[in-house]
Amino acid sequence: MDFLPEKLDDYVVAHSQAEPQILKELNRETWQTVLNPRMLSGGFQGRVLSMISKLIQPKNILEIGTYTGYSALCMAEGMRAEGVLHTIDKNEELYDLQRKYFDKSEFGSQIKQHVGNALEIIPSIEDKFDLVFIDADKANYSNYFNLIIDKMNPGGVILSDNVLWSGKVIEKLNPKDVDTAALLEYNKLMNEDDRIETVLLPIRDGLTLSRVK
């Protein structure tokens, strides 16, 4: 879904910070070797994640949906020296690729990988979080929020990706479209829950920025 004309979008990207070399390498390897490479955050959104993290300077970060580790590395750029980033993914086949790039970065020792069902893993993590990024199965977005909201520090930020879902959120709902229905419910929840304040940014496929009161 394109919010800007292509030439204007190209201008925006050209006048934003370029991705670091390690992320260029990960981007390239993801497109060469992994299924569904469009799931990658990509250079522009990655710089947005990095900037938000640097502004927050989080001690503890949680990512739900690691994929190949691109977004985790972006958020790690703003993490405190004593910080920890927990990242969860159900696909164990991507573990080694993630670890390869985590260890190539300066943040390798601070990034903890978890493989399995995030709904089961999140309650087992004792840390409270300053930054959370939700980018996993859309049907469980609301469930993830309900699990993490009490594990957030005051002033913490929750980022939610793909909340515009290629524009399907404003189209007539197909009764069989479980993901769009779940996102409609989630977007309503994030706008109405009085524990947070939310702004939905039309960046790429939609990025919701929610601050815990």
pLDDT attached to residue 1: 64
CA–CA gap between residue 143 and residue 15 (Å, rounded): 37
Nearest of 150, 135, 132 to residue 59 by alpha carbon = 132
What are 212's two structure tokens?
């815990």
Give the residue carrying structure tokens 């390498």: 25
As a three-state string, the secondary structure of 57-117 is: CCCEEEEECCCCCHHHHHHHCCCCCCCEEEEEECCHHHHHHHHHHHHHCCCHHHEEEEECC
With a CB cutoff of 8 Å and minimum separation 6, the contacts of 116 are 88, 90
With a CB cutoff of 8 Å and minimum separation 6, the contacts of 142 are 182, 185, 186, 189
What does the pLDDT look like over 43-66, one tens digit per residue?
Answer: 999 999 999 999 999 999 999 999
SS3 helix, strand, coil % of the chain, rounded to 5? 50, 20, 30
CB atoms inside a 10 Å sphere around CB 115: 16
CA–CA gap between residue 48 and residue 43 (Å, rounded): 9
CA–CA gap between residue 12 and residue 117 (Å, rounded): 37
What does the pLDDT look like over 121-165, one tens digit per residue?
Answer: 999 999 999 999 999 999 999 999 999 999 999 999 999 999 999
pLDDT bucket at 14, cuts 50 / 70 / 90: very high
pTM for the model = 0.96
pLDDT bucket at 38, cuts 50 / 70 / 90: confident
What are 52's two structure tokens?
């938000």
